[in-house]
Structures are given as C-alpha cells and as structure tokens.
Amino acid sequence: MKRTALYIALITFLALTACRDKFTEIFTGNSPIYMTYEDLRLAVRQTTPSDLSNPGKIYFKDDYIFIVEEMKGIHVINNSNPSNPVNTTFIEIPGNVDIAIKGNILYADSYIDVVALDVSDLTDIREVSRVKDVLPYSIPAYDENYPLADIDEEKGVVTGWEIKKVTQELQNNYYPVYGYEDVWNDASTRGDITGGISGNGIGVGGSMARFGITENTLYAVDKVSIHVFSIADPDSLVLRREFNVGWNIETLFILGETLFLGSQSGVSIYDISVPTSPMYISNFWHLTGCDPVVVQDDLAFITLRGGNLCGNNVNQLVVLSVRNLREPVELKTYPMEGPYGLGIDGKTLFVCDGEAGLKIYDVTDPLTINKHRIAQFPEILAYDAIPIDGVLMLIGDDGLYQYDYQDLTNIVLLSIIEVK
C-alpha cells in the first residue's frame, strides 16, 4: 500500500516537472541567414567602388562624402569638385549603419561590434581596433509581408533573410531592427572641421546620427543606452562606460559641451564637460514621433514625423530655446507635411519635408519661421541633408544629389550619384 502510494507520488512528481506542453508554429516567413562571429570579425575589407543600392546615412569630412550602404558598408566619394564627385572606393563593413570620423580614423558599427579604421590612405584602408559585443544584437530589415522566424544568436549575426517554410517552437523575442527609423533620417549640422582625413578634425554627421565625437571621446547610442569610448589613442578604441539613457533613443547631437539625445518622446540634455562622464541636465517632452534634431546657438530645431512606426500622426517643426539647458522652453511649433531630416547653416534651415519636398527657411526670428520661407522645391525629395559652404548634399531613395545654394531662391543642381 505504502509502496503503491510512493509510486503514484513519484510518477506525479515526474509528470509535474517534465510534462511541458510544446507549441510549434509552421508558416512561410523570413528565415535568417547567418554570418558567424568569426567571419564577422574578418569581414571588414576595402573593395572597388560600387553603385549605390540602399543608401543610408551620410557623413562629410573634408572633401569626402561617406555614404552608408545600409548594413553593407561605406561608399567613399571624393567630393573635391561637387560638380563631379568621384566614387572612389567601398569599405565592406557588415551590419554598418552609423559612422563618425576623427582625424584619420573612421569609427563604424558592425552589428554588435564597433570598429576603428585607418582611412589616411584611401588605397589601403585597414582595421586598427575593434570593441567586440558592445552594441545590442540587431537584425536587418525584412519583408514585412512575412513573419520572422526565430533567431539563434549562437549562430552569429543575421545578414539577410530567405523566404521559406519555417517550423519552430512558438516563443517571443525582441530585437531592434536596423532599416526603419534609420534609413529615413539623417540631416545635417555643422561640425568643427579643422583638417582632412589625414588631419585631426571631426567630420559632420546628420541630425539622426547615433555616433558622435567630442575631443577624445566617441559616443554611440542604441535604443536605450549610451556607450562611451575613449579614442585618445587612434589605434586603440576602448569602452569606458555605458549606461541607460531612456527609451527609444533615436539620435545623438553634440554642441560644444552639451549632448542632446533625441528619443521618440523627447529630447534629453547632458553635460559632457567631462566627456567620459555625461551628466544629465534636463529633458523636454514632446508628442511621440520620429524626431531628428539640430541645435544652433541657443535654439534647437526638431522635426516630428508621425505615422506607422513613429507613433502619433503629428508632423511638425518644433523650435526649442535651450538657452537655459536646465529648462528648455518650446518657443513655437509649425505644421509640416511629413518631415524627415533637417540641417542648418547659420540662419538658414533646410527641412526635408516628405512629399512637400525641400523647404528652406530663414530662422533669424524663431517665432515667425513660417513667414520667412525662402523657397520650397517640391521636386526635391530627400531624407538626409548636409549643407556646407554653399553646397547642399541630399540623399534620398534615388541617390545623392548636390546643390549649390549660395542663391537660396535659385538652388542649382551640381551633380547626381544615382542609386542603381
């Protein structure tokens, strides 16, 4: 009797601990194609110039434009003559989305790693340093018409997708995806250019850049964290610290000793007078939306784009006074059609306003910007702009366009590098 009860108890115990239900889903979906971590760390290499296919962010340094080919690498364009830009070389960097340059070192993300490349000799670009496994595991854009298959991070990084029949155990994961918010944004602001690729200067990124450099410190933001690297030694990239800075961080912008982090719900301001120790100062909340931001003197310009992946259906330009960094004040908002990136050159603001095209404003009086629209070019559809010294570099689905904007009412097309 006792033995029987013992058996029953034993079997019940085994059942309770072992009999787990299993749910298997079968569907046609995006099945990941992997690159092993070993291959990833051997994959950076220079190749011959190639056509633009899926351009992302752009970066300007001296006479060169660096165009990110989303998740593939970087096109290097010799732009010493904006009327005749020359596609010089291509740097294969798997998983690349963001870049920043200081001196002759180019810093780029490569999936979960950050790499430093010596670009002093454009015929011999080589990797000089790498910090492994520092960025979140991310996946490339996929065909939204099909669901995603599970991802096995042990197999490596995901370099692409194959549409096929998938059988997998039902479970849920969350990964950030490169290719949605990033690809549609990148505008411009002026950096402090004091040298060439072989010099000591820092290049110019966009208003949607996630990489930024000040002095000997490189900042990289992901959705929730900031990663602070020391770049004092050009040949040695060192992670100093990383910490949480909020939620849905999209952009990073540096002005002097102030760091602005744009998220989908606001702008956070940090003091970086001690570059390796950003100190929180204040936050400005706005309506949810994708928000490139540029700052000029004591004014911050933010474009909010709503819809789909960007939250509310609000499209506007927000002008913020950041004279008192502890208490940013909203000065005014202006309705827009569907703005992407923006850039500023002195008192001239360039807004890539979706289907409404490129808009150019005089922002001398931030309270009457709408009354001082200098020009609008509906035919210029772009999501990324860098205005520098009278040359406006625009990138859109069609490729890289450069305009002479010295006469703001009559900007003149200088050249096109088309997407093929």
Partner 1 sequence: MRKASLALLFWLVVITGSAGQQANPTATVPLRTFNGYFNITDIGLLIGSPENSHAAPFSFLIINGFHLTNQFSTGLGLGVEFLSGSYLPVFLDLRYYVRNANFSPFFFFQGGYSVPLDDNYSAVTNYQYDVYWPYTYRNYKAMGGWLLNPGFGIRNMFSDNFGLVFSVGYRNQRLFYRADDDHRLLADYNRLVLRIGILFR
Pick between residue 8 and residue 416 the one whose CB is nearest to partner 1: 8
Judge whether 105 and 117 are in contact, CB under 8 Å. Answer: yes
Which residues form the interface with partner 1 (CB under 8 A)?
1, 4-5, 8, 11-12, 14-28, 139, 144, 147-148, 150, 170-177, 180, 309, 311
| Min separation Cβ 5 and partner 1, Å | 7
Residue 16 CB, shortest distance to partner 1, in Å, is 6
Shortest gap between Cβ of 169 and partner 1 (angstroms)? Answer: 10
The answer to whether residues 207 and 342 touch, using CB atoms and an 8 Å cutoff, is: yes
Checking 202-205 for CB contacts under 8 A at 24+ apart, the result is: 202/100, 202/101, 202/102, 203/59, 203/60, 203/61, 203/62, 203/66, 203/100, 203/101, 203/102, 204/59, 204/60, 204/61, 204/386, 204/388, 205/57, 205/59, 205/99, 205/100
Q: Which residues are CB-contacts of 333 (< 8 A; sequence separation ≥ 6)?
A: 316, 317, 318, 319
CB of 174 to partner 1, least distance (A): 6
| Least distance CB 21 / partner 1 (angstroms) | 5
Compute the least distance from the CB of residue 363 to partner 1, in Å.
33
DSSP 126: E
* CA–CA dist 167, 190 (Å, integer): 50
Nearer to partner 1, 100 or 314 (CB): 314
Which of 123, 308 has the CB closer to partner 1? 308
Q: Are 230 and 240 in contact (CB under 8 A)?
A: yes
- In whole angstroms, the minimum distance from the beta carbon of 142 to partner 1 comes to 9
Closer CB to partner 1, 176 or 357, in the complex = 176
Which residue, among 193, 240, 251, has the nearest Cα to 216 in the 3D structure? 240
Written as one string, the DSSP assignment of 314-354 is --EEEEEE-SSTTS-EEEEEEE-SS---EEEETTEEEEE-G
Cβ proximity to partner 1: between 70 and 345 the closer is 70
Considering the complex, state which of residue 304 and residue 342 has its C-beta at the smaller distance from partner 1: 304
Nearest to partner 1 of 150, 298 (CB atom): 150
Is residue 340 within 8 Å of residue 352, measured between CB atoms? yes
